[in-house]
């Protein structure tokens, strides 16, 4: 896998800007993440197809639905999205095992991704919300994900090395938001780190948003991230 294929661009922008970015970056990154901003704007998978984005051999589509509902409702949502060709669909691990089972049992052409502790929660808020540390809660959610047949996990870059050290969850494919180059504005992120550190710790994919879409030159920004990913891969202790 090339370094660029490990980059997931989070399109937390309006639809017009999103489509411009996709056209500029579609041959330079491996995946695009569509989240709540575009969903609230009414974007559908049909729109992606009409723009030529959802097509075989093109960048993968990460539909960040963060499903957290009754199991039967989650099942219905997964069926609809996978029938439209979405590659990744997120569910909230906090929704419990019955819900995650409902998603994995019905998923045959898409990957279910379990979101653990959001990266916008700092240590104090993590404790207030979950009554424990982020590492402990992420580990619990990771174990639940494995039990439910989920192979992909979202956590902050600061929990990656810890998860890789735990045999029962070390095989999971890890996607990490909260990624910034040194000196970048952290924005809303509280548990964040650099692309080099995240990849060196064992992350498989990096979810990167504002550092790319707010950059003066998004193509140059992607190239910078790819270089840092390459350095991190070279320095891994596999």
How does pLDDT run across 23-57, given as a tens digit for each residue? 899 889 999 999 888 877 777 777 777 776 666 67
Q: What is the largest CA-CA distance in the chain?
A: 46
User: Cβ(19)–Cβ(59) under 8 Å?
Assistant: no
**Which of 91, 53, 62 shows the shortest CA–CA distance to 208?**
62
> What CATH number is given to the structural domain containing 109?
3.20.20.70
Tokens describing residue 1: 């896998």
The pLDDT value recorded for residue 55 is 65
Q: What span, in angstroms and rounded, lies between the C-alpha atoms of 225 and 4?
A: 8
CB 82 within 8 A of CB 108: yes
* First vs last C-alpha separation in the chain: 16
pLDDT at residue 227 in the model: 96
User: How far is residue 125's CA from residue 123's CA, in Å, rounded to a whole number?
Assistant: 6
| pLDDT attached to residue 77 | 94
CA 125: distance to chain centroid? Answer: 21
192, 179 Cβ separation under 8 angstroms? yes
Range of the domain at 87: 3-234
Please give the angle made by the CA atoms of 44, 47 and 51, to the nearest 5 degrees: 150
108-152 pLDDT, tens digit per residue, is 999 999 999 999 999 999 999 999 999 999 999 999 999 999 999
Report d(CA 108, CA 116) in Å as an integer: 22
Q: Would you state the structure tokens that stand for residue 160, as one six-digit string?
A: 């990656």
Burial class of residue 72 in the structure, from the number of CB atoms within 10 Å of its CB (0-12 exposed, 13-18 middle, 19+ buried): exposed
Cα angle 87-228-119, degrees, rounded to a multiple of 5? 55
pLDDT (0 to 100) of residue 38: 82
% of the chain beyond a pLDDT of 90: 73
Tens of pLDDT, residue by residue over 184-222, are 887 788 899 999 999 999 999 999 999 999 999 999 999
Q: How many domains does the chain have?
A: 1
The residues assigned a catalytic role are: 66
Q: What are phi and psi of 193, to 5 degrees?
A: -165, 180
| Cβ atoms of residues 55 and 82 within 8 Å | no
Nearest to 47 by CA among 76, 74, 11, 79: 11
């Amino acid at each position: 896998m090339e370094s660029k294929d490990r980059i997931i661009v989070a399109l937390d922008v309006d639809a017009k800007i999103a489509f411009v970015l996709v056209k500029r970056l579609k041959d330079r990154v491996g995946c695009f993440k569509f989240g709540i901003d575009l969903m609230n704007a009414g974007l559908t998978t049909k729109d992606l197809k009409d723009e030529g984005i959802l097509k075989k051999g093109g960048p993968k589509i990460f539909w960040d639905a963060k499903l957290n509902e009754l199991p039967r409702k989650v099942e219905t949502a997964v069926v609809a999205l996978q029938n439209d060709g979405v590659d990744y669909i997120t569910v909230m691990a906090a929704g419990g095992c019955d819900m995650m089972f409902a998603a994995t049992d019905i998923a045959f052409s898409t990957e279910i991704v379990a979101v653990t502790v959001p990266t916008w929660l700092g240590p104090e808020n993590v404790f207030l919300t979950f009554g424990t540390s982020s590492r402990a809660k992420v580990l619990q959610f990771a174990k639940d994900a494995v039990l439910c047949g989920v192979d992909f996990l979202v956590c902050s870059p600061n929990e990656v090395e810890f998860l890789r050290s735990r045999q029962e969850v070390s095989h999971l494919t890890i996607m990490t938001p909260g990624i910034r180059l040194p000196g970048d504005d952290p924005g809303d992120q509280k548990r964040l780190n650099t692309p080099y550190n995240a990849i060196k710790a064992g992350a498989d994919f990096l979810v990167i948003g504002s550092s790319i879409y707010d950059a003066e030159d998004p193509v140059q920004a992607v190239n910078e991230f790819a270089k840092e990913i390459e350095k991190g891969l070279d320095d891994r202790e596999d």
